[in-house]
Amino acid sequence: MAREKGGNVERGEQGRREAGPFRCRPVTKKGEPVRELYRRIAARYDLLAHLYYLVGFRGRAYRKMAVRDLNLVRGDTVIDIGCGTGLCFSYLQQRVGPEGRIIGVDLSGDMLEKAGERVQKSGWSNVELVERDAAEFDFPGGVAGVVSVFSLRSIDRYEELMRKAALAITPGGRFVVLDLKLPDRSRSWVKRLFLTFAKPFGVGMELAGFRPWEPGQVYFEDTRITPLYFGFAYIFSGRAPTRPERSSRPDCGR
């Protein structure tokens, strides 16, 4: 298996979905595999993301907030889980600098091709792209932070990913998630309207049962949840503990 930098994609083993006692269901369009969903929208993903500004969804600002919560410094290594087309890369570069390292992991080769184009166009030589199921990604040592932006809901066995991240991040490093949710107190018609807007990204009513902050509060310390966009989005962040092996695996709604 080749491993290259500068926007080329490391091809990993694809399609492996091992059922296990801690398997969590991804929140995607019913009946459509994640890889196929993002194959369809890869070419227009960035355009779709920017169009949401028309309804007041400040995606760029939210991404900047998530990256800020990582508390990165120059020279750090950061992993972008579900990096997609690399929309967070420029914000991460501002934090870690050229001497730092960015590893983008995504299940979709089509999305990573767009990310590779972004990397090459920007001239970044410190970015590695890995095509792999995030739960099966082998974290390197010396990771200062892990971020997942609008992607954790699409990752099968996301609880396993969080457990592995807690072990890989250096003590005191940060784990940050920016994603969507359905507020408990919103009216049904408001939720349906929101889901209509989010439909192109495969979001459905399954989002109501998606609560990744619950295992996150087991694996990380000093956790906090920041609601965004009237409660339809949030940032979850936590600090890697000194001894993460103390954590047990929670039941995540199987």
Which CATH number fits the domain that encloses residue 67? 3.40.50.150
Buried b (16+ CB within 10 A) or exposed e, 81-104: bbbbbbbbbebbbebbeeebbbbb
Query: Residue 25 pLDDT > 60, yes or no?
Result: no
Query: Is residue 2 in some structural domain?
Result: no
Indicate the number of domains in the chain.
1
CA distances, 100 to each of 65, 75, 198 (Å): 20, 4, 34
Query: Residue 116 pLDDT > 80, yes or no?
Result: yes
pLDDT digits (tens, 9 = 90+) for 55-110: 889 999 999 999 999 999 999 999 999 999 999 999 999 999 999 999 999 999 99
Query: Is residue 185 in some structural domain?
Result: yes
Structural domain of residue 217, as residue ranges? Answer: 21-246
pLDDT digits (tens, 9 = 90+) for 186-198: 788 888 888 787 7
Please tell me the distance from the alpha carbon of residue 177 to that of residue 150, in angstroms, as a whole number: 8
pLDDT given for residue 3 in this prediction:
43
Q: Determine contact, residues 92/67, Cβ cutoff 8 Å.
A: yes
Q: Which residue has the tokens 């072990």?
A: 167
pTM of the model: 0.81
pLDDT band at 43 (very low <50, low <70, confident <90, very high): confident
Please tell me the distance from the alpha carbon of residue 240 to that of residue 218, in angstroms, as a whole number: 11
Query: Is residue 119 in some structural domain?
Result: yes
Query: Is residue 65 in some structural domain?
Result: yes
**Which residue, among 203, 94, 67, has the nearest Cα to 148 in the 3D structure?**
67
